[in-house]
Structure 1
Amino acid sequence: MNNKDVLNVTSEIGRLKTVLLHRPGEEVENLTPDLMERLLFDDIPYLKIARQEHDAFAKILKDNGVEVLYLEELAAEAIEDKEVRERFIEQFLDEGKVMGKGLRKALKEYFTTMGNKELIDKMMAGVRKTELKEDKEESLSDMMSSDYPFVLDPMPNLYFTRDPFATIGTGITLNHMRTETRNRETIFAKYIFENHPRFKDAEVPMWFNRDEDTSLEGGDELILTDKVLAVGISQRTDAASLEKLARNIFNDGQTFETILAFDIPKSRAFMHLDTVFTMIDHDKFTIHPGIEGPLTVFSIRKGENGELNISKEEDVLENILAKYLELDKVTLIRCAGGDTIDSAREQWNDGSNTLAIAPGEVIVYSRNHVTNKLLEEAGIKLHIMPSSELSRGRGGPRCMSMPLLREKA
């Protein structure tokens, strides 16, 4: 199978054809106040309502002709082969730092009782100490003496499928995440692309791999056109990763000619580029007003002998975007119009994080009503989804989706 048939994304706004989601699971209910900082959450979503909201999100996509795939289902199908499943379990335990022989044996026996889908769901949810049989206590005495409640941590960030890997052109970046908490998430994509029938024979090129020693996350990777990428140098993505990505993409002969590197503030409020900046039409963007002043942009092009030509852009953001998108002008729609109070509130709830399903047609959170009104006034067609619980994870519709196929914009 040609890789263009399974992966092909050359814009942020081309009509969306296939997307990858993860329906929130029991991992959300394994959050506790004491664990929130470690697991990168600021609050605990109510799972029942979060699932209803996520199902409403998926329905909007399906009702608009988008094929919706689920991470947990693809991962289960990728380990149908017995040897692949065994290898997957061993690697998962290694990356979960389960090194004690007794604990490892107990977990493998526990996993043996499960079918593939149940196994994947449990790995995502995490394993509490209380789930293992009491008759294992002797061999697990070291574990039982600890107050920490899990033998394998939950992965509550998984419903943000944008970050562990990202589709660019006909390939992917299989990302090395900034935090240990999230880095294990990328193992599911690894096994899907290596073993799932839909992908394994497509020879999908990798622009970046999870075993790199610098970090790159999908929320910092935006595809402006088939010639221009935008990548955030952020709290979660290193400049060195961007250079590796650039060399691999330029050397492959993809259509991309320029990468714009956005140096954004290194703080949780500006976690990824797409939390402060998304494309909604050929000439329109949502933006958090807080990045307009301190923003520095570098342009990266392919040089000779594998080198990169890097130059600093000395202009305002609107002019830089217009220049590289070959437009007379672009419109920046500020979150909540830039109002001090409304903008801060709606940015906290990802008012600038939209998912385009076609040019000028986007999915947004209902709670960002000030920004949504401004988008409608700018001629943008909105699909409004409920968002009281999903938003507690600090990510919006773009964060919760990984496009696999888009039509050319």
Structure 2
Amino acid sequence: MSKLYVGSEVGQLRRVLLHRPERALTHLTPSNCHDLLFDDVLAVEAAGEEHDAFARTLRGQGVEVLLLHDLLVETLDVPEAKQWLLGTQISDFRYGPTFARDLRQYFIEMDNEHLATILLGGLAYSELPIQSSSMLPKMKQPLDFVIEPLPNHLFTRDTSCWVYGGVSLNPMMMPARQRETNHLRAIYHWHPTFAGQDFIKYFGDEDLHYDNANIEGGDVLVIGNGAVLIGISERTTPQGVENLAANLFKSGQAKEVIAIDLPKHRSCMHLDTVMTHMDVDTFSVYPEIMRKDLDTWRLTPKTNGEMHVEASHNYLHAIESALGLDQLKIITTGGDSYEAEREQWNDANNVLTVKPGVVIGYERNVYTNEKYDKAGIEVLTIPGNELGRGRGGARCMSCPIERDDI
């Protein structure tokens, strides 16, 4: 049985979780896309085809690809899981007790393939065939959502992240994404691939309101050697970082966490949109954001279960010392400053490393890809004209479940 373990960002990738964008994208319109955290509406068929090309590229590199939709269907086949998920996603607090009961009754009868499609892709009141005595449906418009679509599930990186021998089930910052985490909680609890397996759940698996402790996987880089690099961003708070760090230390899975305070902009909503790890000693960096003077902290465990926090003067030095390297190789975003800004926006820095020195990135980022190539990094390109509109690249769209150490 292969192991659920992610030991680095650059070791050979073995298994990965993706989500092919389907029904959720059909519900994106110019009037609702911003609430659903998209800057634009996507051409649905084309986005699906681009995603298939991404999955094919991974399989061509010997990576096993798991698809979220399939895992969810197989999880719903477990009666206890279906019951829990309907209780959580269709809660009395969300819908009021009457309407919630009527909805759960309707969904429990539904076949699991269809139910998974609706949980992921949303349902409008006009598509709901049942009547309820509740006030709520009577006060809604036909195009209002009973279940909001989850188009951001495409970015499987954020919802949960595997760090060494365990996983963090991330309490997401944005309401449009918070329901995603429950799908992963159910999958990791009941799906045969994960049920009864030996892994740690560091954070986010309780029925709690996590308040200000938000963390998203796009900010978490498992740089190897027992170190984890985390960005404090638009969507990851210091409270989230400290909670995850405390549990990584308690379980003995990590020996240090380096936290970098990023500017809070949409263009760098996660650390991996401005910095990714491409080879043992090589990072891609967008220098406009990743300046040397960013506030950086080093968190390490103390013997009494508390943690030691010290300011670090330069994040590059902190990474070098964590990885035991004399000097990092830094490849900056390509082209002149206009091209670099444009390519960063189109996720030139957000590449997925499949093995040391081999990465997957969007073909449209020609200047940056050329620069990677000259620096000896092989770029396997995928089309991203539609997928890129969601502001996420190959790293954002993948959740590694099994990857070698460096």
**What TM-score, normalized by structure 2, do the two folds share?**
0.94
Q: Quote the offset at 1:113 in angstroms.
A: 4.6
The AA in structure 2 aligned to 1:366 is E
Where do residues 80-95 of structure 1 align in structure 2 (5 Å cutoff)? 80-94=77-91
Q: Residue 303 of structure 2 corresponds to which residue in structure 1?
A: 304
Deviation string 1:189-245 (CA, Å, 9 cap, x unpaired) is: 111111111211014211111533211111111011132110111110111111111
In structure 2, C-alpha distance between the alignment counterparts of 1:238 and 1:84, rounded to whole Å: 31
Q: Quote the offset at 1:141 in angstroms.
A: 5.3
Q: Residue 143 of structure 1 corresponds to which residue in structure 2?
A: 137
Q: Residue 230 of structure 1 corresponds to which residue in structure 2?
A: 229
1:346 matches 2:340: no
In structure 2, C-alpha distance between the alignment counterparts of 1:54 and 1:73, rounded to whole Å: 15
Q: Residue 127 of structure 2 corresponds to which residue in structure 1?
A: 131
Maintained 8 Å contact 1:172/1:206: yes
The AA in structure 1 aligned to 2:23 is E
In structure 2, C-alpha distance between the alignment counterparts of 1:319 and 1:112, rounded to whole Å: 54
In structure 1, C-alpha distance between the alignment counterparts of 2:236 and 2:165, rounded to whole Å: 22
Is the alpha carbon distance of 1:32 and 1:100 closer, same or farther for their aligned partners in structure 2, counting shifts above 3 Å?
farther
Q: Quote the offset at 1:86 in angstroms.
A: 2.3
Paired residue secondary structure (2:308): strand
In structure 1, C-alpha distance between the alignment counterparts of 2:316 and 2:303, rounded to whole Å: 30
Paired residue secondary structure (1:388): coil
Maintained 8 Å contact 1:6/1:198: no
Paired residue secondary structure (1:162): helix
Q: Residue 110 of structure 2 corresponds to which residue in structure 1?
A: 114
Q: Quote the offset at 1:16 in angstroms.
A: 0.5
Q: Quote the offset at 1:111 in angstroms.
A: 2.1
The AA in structure 2 aligned to 1:258 is E
Q: Quote the offset at 1:109 in angstroms.
A: 4.3
1:207 matches 2:205: no
Maintained 8 Å contact 1:110/1:132: no
Paired residue secondary structure (1:198): coil
Q: Residue 11 of structure 1 corresponds to which residue in structure 2?
A: 8
Alignment length (residue pairs): 400
Bigger Cα displacement from structure 2, 147-156 vs 375-384: 147-156
Q: Residue 247 of structure 2 corresponds to which residue in structure 1?
A: 248
The AA in structure 2 aligned to 1:107 is L
Q: Residue 329 of structure 2 corresponds to which residue in structure 1?
A: 331
Q: Residue 153 of structure 1 corresponds to which residue in structure 2?
A: 148
Q: Quote the offset at 1:247 in angstroms.
A: 1.4
Q: Quote the offset at 1:378 in angstroms.
A: 0.4
Q: Quote the offset at 1:82 in angstroms.
A: 2.4
1:190 matches 2:185: yes
**What TM-score, normalized by structure 1, do the two folds share?**
0.94
Deviation string 1:331-373 (CA, Å, 9 cap, x unpaired) is: 1111125x22001111111111000000000000011111000
The AA in structure 2 aligned to 1:89 is L
* Structure 1 residues without counterparts, runs of 5 or longer: none
Root-mean-square deviation (Å): 1.7
In structure 2, C-alpha distance between the alignment counterparts of 1:329 and 1:82, rounded to whole Å: 53
Q: Residue 266 of structure 1 corresponds to which residue in structure 2?
A: 264
Is the alpha carbon distance of 1:271 and 1:95 closer, same or farther for their aligned partners in structure 2, counting shifts above 3 Å?
farther
The AA in structure 1 aligned to 2:392 is G
Q: Residue 74 of structure 2 corresponds to which residue in structure 1?
A: 77
Maintained 8 Å contact 2:218/2:270: yes
Deviation string 1:121-144 (CA, Å, 9 cap, x unpaired) is: 1111111111112x62x6355423
Q: Residue 403 of structure 2 corresponds to which residue in structure 1?
A: 406
1:33 matches 2:27: no
In structure 2, C-alpha distance between the alignment counterparts of 1:195 and 1:282, rounded to whole Å: 35
Maintained 8 Å contact 2:216/2:235: yes
Where do residues 251-400 of structure 1 align in structure 2 (5 Å cutoff)? 251-254=250-253, 256-293=254-291, 294-315=293-314, 317-337=315-335, 339-400=336-397
Q: Quote the offset at 1:408 in angstroms.
A: 2.1
In structure 1, C-alpha distance between the alignment counterparts of 2:203 and 2:97, rounded to whole Å: 32
Maintained 8 Å contact 2:95/2:136: no
In structure 1, C-alpha distance between the alignment counterparts of 2:199 and 2:215, rounded to whole Å: 19
The AA in structure 1 aligned to 2:329 is T
Maintained 8 Å contact 1:24/1:50: yes
The AA in structure 2 aligned to 1:330 is L
Deviation string 1:308-348 (CA, Å, 9 cap, x unpaired) is: 11111113x443332222112111111125x2200111111
